A and B are shown apart, each in its own frame.
Chain A
Amino acid sequence: MKKTTAFFAGLALFLSACTQTNSNTQTSSISQGIPIGVALAQTSNVALLGQEGIQGAKIAEKYFNDKGGVDGTPIKLIVQDTGGDETGAINAFQILINQNKVVGIVGPTLSQQAFSADPVAERAKVPVLAASNTAKGIPEIGDYVARVSAPVSIVAPNSINTALKLNPNIKKVAVFYAQNDAFNKSETEIFQKTLKDKGLDIVTVQKFLTTDTDFQAQATNAINLKPDLIVISGLAADGGNLVRQLRELGYKGIIIGGNGFNTSNIFAVCKASCNGVLVAQAYSPQHSNAVNQAFRAAYLQQYKKEPPQFSAQAFAAVQVFVEALKAVDKRSDIAKMSLDKLRTELNKELLTRKYDTPLGEIAFTPVGDVIQKDFYVAQLQVDANGNNGKFASVPK
């Protein structure tokens, strides 16, 4: 009996401790570097995307510290792995906020993880900059959530405009999408809406899974309806195979790929069949501003290939934090500010400024969505034996 009472007393004590709210009133110890959190996936099936982001962020850390950091104080990136699921993202955010005491967070990788973890940061009043979340509703999660990754609703329509420019006689369109992937589901909605707004006729919408390899049924169905344009929202492996099978079955018209095609892995999948596929991009390595040239050179030197979009976006996110910190520091010394105050000030500051990043010039809407000036449409160019592929930008 005694034991049970002790147990419940202990429980009550524990639960009452739960309701205490912790406040960070001590000044941030930033002398060894200003901690900026990076919560991206280093493990699980989205690790490929997460690692590209981390590469970009690391290059940014070195680039800005070489330039003197924030008025002499270097920045320090703290990377926590989110894995591919929601709980992992929440745990990583918690550790970055409470243990590593970061001033802001770059991440998480997936939009679904953002829906789960961003409210945690919002409640703790820590600014979050998403570098790869493109779904609808991300900046609307709260005041402290913003993104540098342009939403699909803005990027995707560009490729349709280009296709119409290349062939003004397009009337009938077939749409394909991977129904088990959140990104492709929202992307195809944007594609379909844009097609309707342009007065084009969507003759069929075919669904597939990202794990499929055989698309003969869907491809035959679509080709029988004689479309002039095919729009695909899928990932590299499935999308690439779909393109190949469409070409093998005799489709000759224009193909538009979604953002999932935005990786050099696609060339290994569809080889020469991919020649001519149009892809809209939020980033182009060819962008001519100085910061992109420096970023591209650093990336090429370290990884021996052109920087991918996710790396550029993560770089831009770190850059936004650094430049906003500088601006806050100009007004009052950030070393003397309490961590809570610094986070709030940083959040206020970063939304009001303009930044010249590798993505081109960006700014933010009051709610925290990115305003990006330049978008690109690339055409996949593969030589006849299918070995060398590249993204060639299409003039607007």
Chain B
Amino acid sequence: MAEFLNTYGPLIVSMVLGALLGLSLYLPLMTGQLSLASPGFYALGGYIAAILSTQVFPTNEGSFPIPLLLLEMLIAAIVSGILGVLVGIPALRLRGIYLALATIAFVEILRVLSLNLEITGGAVGIFGIPQPFASPIEYLWVALPLLLISMFLLYRLEIIRFGRAFVAIREDELAAGAMGINPTYYKVLAFTLGSILAGVAGALSAHFLNTWNARQGTFDASIIYLTSVLIGGSRTFVGPVLGGMVFTALPEILRAVAETPGLPIWLAQLLRDGRLIVFGVLIVLGTIFFPQGLVTPDLLKKIKRQEQ
């Protein structure tokens, strides 16, 4: 058990971070808005933590104090929240594919900025980010509560007035407006909540990865997380959590499977060298056979009924 945790500690932490990013993409999707801006805020949060911990806070020897890490996450949340409102108000006037395009543009702007600014270290990025924990797995002390709290809040959100309003807008924006729901307000709210979550996850990731650069949170990452949300299921918060975790872990699981003794050589070779191909095939099969995602509200209801 200890050896398993030692080997796969970082993977478990990245799975939790993946789930958080999945949730941050899911929030705007709750109101039916296809926004790909989350990775941008993820990158922003990471840069905030990286700059604060390497340049602003005193870097004494030994491990980085955890309260400062939490402070960084708070600052990242506030900055992402403010920027989320500023970007959200104009961007959410767009719908569907145009919103997706605008948010991709936003992510690109942040990337080009971070490549050109002195403070972000250009293409090399920021390195030597101090570590608050002795081993990677201990990041779970922060990451796991963060995920559980977010999941609990989303669970609550789905059954209170705000959540109902989100769903109403997703199902029919005009009808929702006619019922006295202010669509812009709720859409910006969902977008901003998603940005805050992404920013906080980014701040934690910067410490976890030891380094931060412009290759984090790019357009490619947006697509991977969008896929994980869609395949996990975009109608309930369990879907993105599951999707984010599975998609982060899958390439590594395939690597581990390839190492199992007794496999025919060609199969082991395919799993090891061609694991990204297998990964891609699984995505295609997932979208064909689970168009609503793996976890749907119907499925959850069925499980509940069986329990009773």
* Contacts from A to B (Cβ < 8 Å): 11, 15, 17-22, 42-43, 80-81, 83, 85-88, 90-91, 94-95, 98-99, 111-112, 115-117, 119-120, 123, 135, 137, 141, 179-182, 184-186
Contacts and interface: CB of A to CB of B under 8 A. Distances in A.
A185 B125 CA distance: 11
B8 A181 contact: no
B255 A119 contact: no
B209 A86 contact: yes
Contact of B125 (A112, A119, A184): A112
Contact of B10 (A17, A18, A91): A91
6 contacts: A17-B2, A18-B9, A94-B9, A94-B136, A111-B124, A115-B211
4 tightest Cβ-Cβ pairs between the two chains A and B? A115-B211, A115-B127, A98-B7, A182-B123
Instruction: Give chain B's interface secondary structure class.
Output: helix
Given A22-B2, A115-B210, A180 B135 contact: no
Given A18-B9, A95-B7, A123 B138 contact: no
Interface of B: 1-3, 5-11, 14, 115-116, 122-125, 127-128, 131, 134-138, 140-141, 144, 209-211, 213-216, 251-252, 255, 259, 272-273, 276
B211 A116 contact: yes
A235 to B, nearest CB: 12
Instruction: Give chain A's interface secondary structure class.
Output: helix
A316 to B, nearest CB: 24
A20 B210 contact: no
Given A95-B7, A116-B209, A123-B135, A85 B215 contact: yes
Nearest to A207: B116
Nearest to A87: B14
Contacts of A186: 124
B94 to A, nearest CB: 27
B122 A22 contact: no
A188 B272 CA distance: 37
A126 to B, nearest CB: 13
Contact of A94 (B7, B131, B216): B7
A141 B116 CA distance: 25
A332 to B, nearest CB: 27
B10 A90 contact: yes
Nearest to A118: B210
